[in-house]
Amino acid sequence: MGKITYEFKIENGEVLSFDIDPSSPTNSGKTPKPASASWTALNNHKCENCPLNPDEHPHCPVALDIEEVAEKFSALLSWKQAEVWVHTEERSYHKTCDLQTGLRSMLGLMMALSLCPILSRLKPLALSHLPFANFQETVSRVVGNYLIRQFLNEKNGIEPDWSLSELKSMYKELVTVNFSMLERIRAASKEDANLNAISIFFSMASIVNMALEEQLDEMEEQFIEAKNRTVETPAFPAT
């Protein structure tokens, strides 16, 4: 998968562009930039469920990866309108939206590609990135991707988890990460575009965690309806 470019054409005339390479190793937290901000330190609002050792990883891998973005959007208001273009090798996406919506999509991708032991579990989704995905699309992609993993586990002699229990557990951990990341971004922002974007991303994780069963029940009804739908086959004349 080639690079993904996010381009923000903000209503004030400013243009911000970011290239994200899913195949390129991201920062582990061991090698910060010489002038990395204090809010990127691992112990600065460290997540309760973070397994990293500050002696080996003095900086949060996610914070280092999104530091440049946080700096450039730190003084921008979330409700500012923008033309957001997302270019991939296969196609381009476009959406006229507020900054927080465009940022939520881009930051979600960047965090899933980070070397954070928790957020990196979302990397398979990042490799089939769908910009501006809504809740239903997110659930379909999350569950579908997870079940493919279980199919491959079974194929390779590993006990599969068809009950989705590990998936539910993962999303509970994402909710825990939410609180600490919000505090980090708050320290990095003068205005609320960054903060609201992160909040929306993790709110989606919270909703998936709480409403997964309900959404799956709705999808089951759709599958049953499709199965029971009768299609009349045209009769062919006898030969």
Domains contained in the chain, number: 1
Is position 22 within any domain? yes
Is position 108 within any domain? yes
Is position 235 within any domain? no
Task: Specify the higher pLDDT residue, 72 or 52.
Answer: 52
DSSP string, 28-87: -SSS--TT--GGGBTTTT--TT----TTT--B-HHHHHHHHHHHHHTT--TT-EEEEEEE
Query: Could you tell me the pTM of the whole model?
Result: 0.81
Task: Specify the higher pLDDT residue, 37 or 209.
Answer: 37
Q: Has residue 10 got a pLDDT over 60?
A: yes
Is position 81 within any domain? yes
Is position 237 within any domain? no
Q: Has residue 57 got a pLDDT over 80?
A: yes
Tell me what pLDDT residue 226 has: 77
Residues 6+ apart with CB under 8 A from 43: 54
Q: Alpha-carbon distance 63 to 32, whole Å?
A: 10
> Where are the extended beta strands (E) located within the chain?
4-10, 15-20, 81-87, 92-98
Is position 125 within any domain? no
Which range marks the domain in which residue 49 is found?
4-115+130-225
Give the highest mean pLDDT range of 72-81, 110-119, 149-158. 149-158
Q: Which residues pair with 81 in a beta bridge?
A: 98
Is position 238 within any domain? no
Give the highest mean pLDDT range of 10-14, 84-88, 127-131, 210-214. 84-88
Q: How far is CA 75 from CA 65, 78, 80, 200, in A?
A: 19, 10, 11, 18
Rounded to 5 degrees, what are φ and ψ at 85? -110, 140
Residues 6+ apart with CB under 8 A from 156: none
Residues 6+ apart with CB under 8 A from 188: 37, 39, 67, 70, 71, 74, 194
Q: What is the C-alpha end-to-end distance of the chain, expressed in Å?
A: 53
Q: What is the pLDDT of residues 215-227, one digit of tens each?
A: 777 777 777 877 7
Question: How many residues does the structure list for the chain?
Answer: 239
Q: How many CB atoms lie within 10 A of CB 11?
A: 12
Residue for token pair 């769908």:
130
Q: Which residues pair with 31 in a beta bridge?
A: none
Q: What is the pLDDT of residues 133-190, one digit of tens each?
A: 988 888 889 999 999 999 999 999 999 999 999 988 888 888 888 878 888 877 777 6
Q: Has residue 121 got a pLDDT over 70?
A: yes
Tell me what pLDDT residue 190 has: 67
Is position 181 within any domain? yes
